[in-house]
Structure 1
Amino acid sequence: MYGRNFDKYERKYFPKNEKPGDLCERIKKIITKTGLHSSVVEYGAFNKMMGFAAIAAGDEKKAVNHLIESHAVLHRQQVNLRYKKTEIRDNCGYTYKFGVNPSHLKFNVDCQEDSQSLESKLAELPREWYMVQLTQPYKPCKWLPEASNSVHPLHLTVLPTGPKAIAPFTITVPAPDNSMYDLCADVKNLLDTNKSSLQAEYGNHSMYWKMRQKQNNRMMTAVKEMEYNWLREWRLLLIADSLENSDDTREMIGIVDKLIADDRSLTPLSPKTVWLLRKVSTTAGYLSKTEIARLITVILPDNKKLASNLILSIVSKSKTATKLRQEKRKTTVLIVDEEIDYLPLEAMEILQDHPVTRFPSLHVAYAMFKEHEESIVEGCKVMVINEESGMGIVNPSNNLPKMEKRLRIFMDYWLPKWRTIYNALPEEEGLANAFVNALVNHEIMMYNGHGSGIQYLPGEKIEKLRVRAAVLLFGCGSVKLVPIGGRFPPYGVSNQYLTACSPCTLGMNWEVTDLDTDRMTSCFISTWIPSKAEKSWNYIDFEKWSNGTLEFKSNLERGKKEQFNDTTSPFFEPEMLRAVAISKKVCLQFMTKAAIVVRGLPVKVKWNE
């Protein structure tokens, strides 16, 4: 019922006089007859077509399965290839294995109930995750510039996790009806010119800062367009549930449940419908009255009386609903289609204050969960750390002296026992070996330099490691998925870190400037990683530190010590994703804030003296 809001799209791309169910079956026969393997690029497009056809035929279960199967086809095949190489090496006497076990990537796309089914895999995943998949629908000739750069409909697939969750479902959001502004085209144009704009020479500082402000304004406009005119009221599907239901949450859910129980309609509501109505009530603080009314009217098209009662009751509780915006929420796990990974989803108002991570596909998310399952507690991979658990590589190119000076001051003060390498390495150790040491023998690896560091340790070598560290890449475009060209999907070094089983990778989705990034880096590290420093980094005088001087604000009580290994400190946040959300607020440029992305598992540190 909710998927029928893409009629224009359906008429444009659906063959005339073709029944959706028949088309789906014909595509499956083609795949079977030709022996089309998942390594073939067209396999992803075929699954999008079958998902689209299943939606049109009203078979939601089949639609969800095929939309999931359409994601990260090339990456999954590369994981298989890498693991096969380890097996070949094993036969030749090499015992060291690396890479994600491809058996965890297996998925029964035919909706059969077994250990490989979607429901069984989702039931294994932590209840503390709130998982949503965003899929660009099938589009003929999508690799052509005029097709790939324009805004389009969007499949939002909700994937509830845990043993007692409802069945997954999908809703198709139409393209925004705004012929005057195309947010996808504008964001791509902005990102394509971002690097040249930052590197250009300007006659004076005023001209440079006007350019930066123009960039910020364009990105903010695009984010608002995405949130309020593209996703519209369906953005509520991206808002994670409360981690634990408060009294206010229970009150809002109780209102919905009572009205449903009192309804005298002979037609019982499906679990999906009840879930959606509860979702509207608990996220009403993010929605306008008009949006609440539109949602409930669409969810209950055949029960106007119940819909009217629900609208009036939820709107009347606006104060309670607004308070729910402050609830501590589950981790939002976004499964993002590689074709739309450039979009700054985390910068939306509904996500900016909450923990968010990305995966390219559910297959990869499940595989990473299985690889680290023994150390995952309450939805987070727990890393036990001490004062020497991390390693930093700063300014290896030796041409970022101001950044190096700032970070040297910070690291010497906050993490003096980390092994941090600046601008030059010992003669006996190459830079590639330093990277390997940081990735394999430490819990945290921090890189502050140009790009992602693959100029020192290529991605092909990363894949041959069993990466232990959470990887922090504070360089320009360090986790960007780069368009390869033709029909192939975008690809980036973050995929190679996932292949090497790294728990997670933090980085930038496009080019950023060093000062703003350094502010975020110091705030994030000092919030997430405990220290025995005497004073909290929250009291640093950022202006003086930016110019290379360590000085704290005078209003800090002298002599007072704040031991950050004491987890009761108000500034300590052991969950990495929550610390990232906090630290983004110190960014002075919206372009920097919107560029920060985490890919991989939620991670939590546990201090060990």
Structure 2
Amino acid sequence: MEKHWLGAWKGLLVGQTSDDCYNTDMDVAATKLSKLIHKFLSLRCAAGKARQIVELMQHTRDLPTILSGVLRTDVVSNTAFLEAVTSQVLEVMPKVKDADLPVIFILDKHLANFPMEQLSVTRDQPVTRVPSLSLLHHLLHLHGLTPSSSQTSPHTSGNRDSSQERSGDKSGDKSGDKSGDKSGDNHHSSKKKNDSEGSVAGNRCDGEDSEVSVAQRGVDPRSVFYVLNPDGDLTHTQTCLQGPYERNKDWQGVTGVVPTAEQYIQALTQHDLYIYSGHGSGSKYFSREEVLKLRCRAVVLLFGCSSVKVDLYRDLDPDAYFYSYLLAGSPCVLGNLWDITDRDIDLFCLELLHLWLAHQGTQPRLSLATLVQKARRVVRIRWLNGCSPVVYGLPMSLNRPNK
């Protein structure tokens, strides 16, 4: 996919870093490139566009394709210009640094079940995904955030706006927008449009008036509700996870039994984090219609098989149970794209919780998407089970509470 679909443009999927020294060096390289473009091609190249070209050059050796595409002029035959760029710009360009600012993929139905997060250029950066731009806007509005928020939304300074838009365009199309709309329409088909998605975005936005959204303050690791092995047949999962879950004295949850509707409502509306360790997404215990009646507060972790798999229906828009969590206000949902083995996903779950809880004292705000990428490394079948977990929704922080 990287070679034949993205080619020299795979760098468009790479996020940015907050390292000031690195950004300064990149600006120096961009300034040199801008001067060379004016000298050899008699073209004026804005600083933002020159910076974009330099960022793309870090991830490919196909300089003629990048320069011709961005500058919209043929530079293949201009060997003097290419040699000058190679000798003067590449020499001062800093080494590639892992991005630490999140990227959000807007994926259409053709790519929704593909692990875009495991491309070589995105593997070491925080990535989340949404099914449509309209749903992303809904979540930002619902949680009182704006696209320029530095902690929980993508970096948007400089020329990265255009490259991130192109990343979304390359990964999705108009059908991606329809997926969010379709979810809202289907789940509220018995109501008028202004009573469905409109009420979610409007009335729920200021729900729980004085409470700050989890998306803004981060997840409190003491406010957790878990559902472990509700069917009672995942013996290894229960043996592996019951101890770690119950050792956290502040956590609430149920093990080996099906939770009641009241417990589900409590988990989603009164806690910061809801963990489900069972078969599938848990939809047979609590339907999407029941979820959509709530104002969900919790970040949702669904460790079951295919828990965030998107169902495709030929020419119709895609659909998925987990959409209901996002539409009901949950800022973030983690789940699996396909069926996985219980032992590997148990290892992933334990590593994810360990990385989060073990570093609370040294790193007060940790990105869930970053920890997910790190936790994949403990999975034994890395390129099958390890690629399955993905994060939908906003780039969430996991916060250390004030004692």
TM-score (norm 1): 0.51
Counterpart of 1:597 in structure 2 is: 390
Provide structure 1 residue ranges, at least 5 long, that are not aligned to the other structure.
Answer: 1-225, 531-535, 537-563
Counterpart of 2:291 in structure 1 is: 462
Counterpart of 2:7 in structure 1 is: 232
Contact 1:392-1:446 within 8 A present in 2 as well: yes
Amino acid at match of 1:521: C
Equivalent position to 1:418, from 243, 247, 251: 251
Counterpart of 1:165 in structure 2 is: none
Contact 1:297-1:307 within 8 A present in 2 as well: no
Q: Does 1:582 find its partner at 2:353? A: no
Identity %: 25
Distance 2:18 2:221 in 1: 30
Equivalent position to 1:503, from 320, 331, 334: 331
Equivalent position to 1:258, from 26, 32, 42: 32
Distance 2:112 2:33 in 1: 40
**Structure 1 586/283 Cα, relative in aligned 2: closer, same or farther at 3 Å?**
farther
Distance 1:519 1:469 in 2: 23
TM superposition shift of 1:396: 0.3
In the comparison of the two structures, how many residue pairs are matched?
A: 333
Counterpart of 1:292 in structure 2 is: 63
TM superposition shift of 1:388: 3.2
Distance 2:49 2:146 in 1: 33
Amino acid at match of 2:59: Y
Distance 1:284 1:336 in 2: 25
For residues 221-271 of structure 1, the C-alpha deviation after alignment (integer angstroms, 9 at most, x for no partner) is xxxxx122221111010011223442x442233123134235346854354
Counterpart of 1:409 in structure 2 is: 243
Counterpart of 1:310 in structure 2 is: 85
**Structure 1 512/503 Cα, relative in aligned 2: closer, same or farther at 3 Å?**
same
TM superposition shift of 1:389: 0.2
Q: Secondary structure at the match of 2:350?
A: helix
**Structure 1 296/386 Cα, relative in aligned 2: closer, same or farther at 3 Å?**
closer
TM superposition shift of 1:592: 1.3
Structural mapping, 1:361-510, within 5 Å? 361-373=132-144, 378-380=150-152, 381-383=215-217, 385-386=219-220, 388-413=222-247, 415-424=248-257, 430-483=259-312, 485-510=313-338
Equivalent position to 1:324, from 93, 96, 103: 96
Equivalent position to 1:348, from 105, 119, 144: 119
For residues 533-557 of structure 1, the C-alpha deviation after alignment (integer angstroms, 9 at most, x for no partner) is xxx5xxxxxxxxxxxxxxxxxxxxx
Provide structure 2 residue ranges, at least 5 long, that are not aligned to the other structure.
Answer: 153-214
**Structure 1 385/350 Cα, relative in aligned 2: closer, same or farther at 3 Å?**
closer
**Structure 1 387/357 Cα, relative in aligned 2: closer, same or farther at 3 Å?**
closer
Q: Secondary structure at the match of 2:129?
A: strand
TM superposition shift of 1:276: 4.7
TM superposition shift of 1:444: 0.2
TM superposition shift of 1:308: 4.2
TM superposition shift of 1:315: 3.8
Structure having the higher helix fraction is: 1
TM superposition shift of 1:359: 1.0
TM superposition shift of 1:277: 3.9
After TM superposition, which residue ranges in structure 1, 4 or more long, deviate above 6 angstroms? Answer: none
Distance 1:353 1:408 in 2: 30
Q: Secondary structure at the match of 1:237?
A: helix
User: Larger C-alpha radius of gyration, 1 or 2?
Assistant: 1
TM superposition shift of 1:525: 1.4
Q: Which has the higher contact order (CA 8 A, sep 6+)?
A: 2
**Structure 1 418/602 Cα, relative in aligned 2: closer, same or farther at 3 Å?**
same
Contact 1:527-1:573 within 8 A present in 2 as well: no
Equivalent position to 1:243, from 7, 10, 18: 18
TM superposition shift of 1:361: 1.7
Structural mapping, 1:189-204, within 5 Å? none
Counterpart of 1:30 in structure 2 is: none
Distance 1:400 1:360 in 2: 31
Distance 2:280 2:268 in 1: 17
For residues 34-92 of structure 1, the C-alpha deviation after alignment (integer angstroms, 9 at most, x for no partner) is xxxxxxxxxxxxxxxxxxxxxxxxxxxxxxxxxxxxxxxxxxxxxxxxxxxxxxxxxxx
Amino acid at match of 1:368: L
Q: Secondary structure at the match of 1:340?
A: coil
Distance 2:6 2:146 in 1: 36
Q: Secondary structure at the match of 1:341?
A: coil
Q: Secondary structure at the match of 1:382?
A: helix
**Structure 1 350/432 Cα, relative in aligned 2: closer, same or farther at 3 Å?**
same
**Structure 1 336/385 Cα, relative in aligned 2: closer, same or farther at 3 Å?**
closer
TM-score (norm 2): 0.76
**Structure 1 309/477 Cα, relative in aligned 2: closer, same or farther at 3 Å?**
same
Q: Does 1:524 find its partner at 2:299? A: no
Amino acid at match of 1:599: Y
